[in-house]
Amino acid sequence: MMPVLAKERSGPLSIVILGVDSVSYTPLDVYKRQRLKQLVGELRAEWHELDTKVEALNGEFVELARKMCIRDSA
């Protein structure tokens, strides 16, 4: 078995996954791999959702900062 390191990147967050490359898998190994893929998929979806929320909050912050600068300079 040979360890395989893969880095997935999505927005400001990243995940490093350590996998094992093997020739034969037991049914339990197959289940574990499927479960891991499912969890990674769910994590990616959650991160995408969080990235979207962070972008929206950053936009609101910039807008408020600009309004405060304009108000303070008047």
pLDDT at residue number 2? 45
For the segment 29-58, the average pLDDT, to the nearest whole number, is 93
Instruction: Give the residue, 30 or 7, on which the prediction is more confident.
Output: 30
Who has greater pLDDT, 3 or 39?
Answer: 39
In this prediction, residue 1 carries a pLDDT of: 43
Choose between 2 and 48: higher pLDDT: 48
Distance CA 13, CA 5 (A): 17
Q: What is the mean predicted confidence (pLDDT) over 17-34? A: 72
User: Could you give the CA distance from residue 61 to residue 68 in angstroms, rounded to a whole number?
Assistant: 11
> Percent of the chain having pLDDT more than 70?
66
Name the residue ranges covered by the structural domains of the chain.
2-73
Tokens of 39: 């969890």
